[in-house]
Amino acid sequence: MEGSSGPKPLSVYLYIPNIIGYIRILMNCVAFALCFSNKKIFAILYFVSFVSDGLDGWLARKFNQVSTFGAVLDMVTDRVSTACLLTVLSQIYRPGLIFLSLLALDIGSHWMQMYSTFLSGKASHKDVKDSTNWLFKAYYGHRPFMAFCCVGSEVVYIIFFLIAERQPESVINAFVSVIQRRLFLLLLFSLALFGWAIKQIINIIQMKTAADACVFYDMKRNQ
């Protein structure tokens, strides 16, 4: 509207955290283009892109540039990059269904959580104050804990990608390979695996909670 004092659409697209989001997308594109020709470059680009999610969130709050577009951009970038890596792993390892199932759980739980958030009128899918599950509330209520689980999950996938020596590879053989290698790698993998396990539990809780919210919405609407 003419005379409006609010931010213009172009200015929102050019918010500093959103620009970082575009850079993250570009880094992921380059990473997956090189994933089979240069594993180390892929791992570096993918990891830096993922952890930059926390940086743009911090900058958004620091410069008061929080936007719905930025939040959606972050979530879509995270989900798509993880989905691409899990798809690659499903082609490297057997049974590939393990990684495809993890992909389905990740996408399904977040999509249902976003939709149930929309139905309940909440501003963010991370608003779980009314949840009765302590682990679910701890995950979304404490950023360092959530960051540990998310980063740990991605580190597990990166390690699996880096240690694959032949295709198709057995998941069990790869796991044993990690155990037999250097102590540092074993400790890193064990710590990351703990965060990965919590994140998968959260995904299951999230899907069930979101499904309940959709059912309660239908019940309330039909009364």
User: What domains, with CATH codes, occur in the chain?
Assistant: 9-222 (1.20.120)
Nearest to 84 by CA among 26, 32, 158, 30: 32
Q: Is 130 a catalytic residue?
A: no
Relative orientation angle of helices 39-62 and 143-163, to the nearest 10 degrees: 170
Q: What is the pLDDT of residue 101?
A: 97
Residue 2's pLDDT band, with cuts at 50, 70 and 90, is: very low
Better-scored residue on pLDDT, 147 or 54: 147
Q: Is the pLDDT of residue 175 over 70?
A: yes
**198 contacts 156 by C-beta, under 8 angstroms:** no
Report the b/e string of 45-57 with b at 16+ CB within 10 A: bbbebbebbbebb
Cβ atoms within 10 A of the Cβ of 176, count? 11
Average pLDDT (172-196) is 87
Average pLDDT (117-136) is 82
Cα dist from 202 to 2, 135, 180, whole Å: 46, 8, 30
Average pLDDT (154-164) is 93
User: What value does the mean pLDDT of the chain take?
Assistant: 89
Which parts of 67-202 are beta strand (E)?
93-94, 169-170
Residue-level length of the chain: 223
Catalytic residue among 53, 56, 78, 106: 78
Q: Is the pLDDT of residue 44 over 60?
A: yes
Average pLDDT (7-34) is 91
Average pLDDT (168-173) is 83
- Please state whether the predicted TM-score (pTM) of the whole model is above 0.85: yes
Q: Is the pLDDT of residue 4 over 70?
A: no
Q: What is the pLDDT of residue 91?
A: 93
Q: What percent of the chain has pLDDT over 90?
A: 60
Q: What is the pLDDT of residue 1?
A: 41
Q: What is the pLDDT of residue 131?
A: 82
Q: Is the pLDDT of residue 11 over 90?
A: no
Q: Which helix (H) or strand (E) holds 121?
A: none
**16 contacts 59 by C-beta, under 8 angstroms:** yes
Residue 192's pLDDT band, with cuts at 50, 70 and 90, is: very high
Average pLDDT (108-130) is 84
Q: Tell me: cis bond preceding 17? Omega within 30 of 0 counts.
A: no
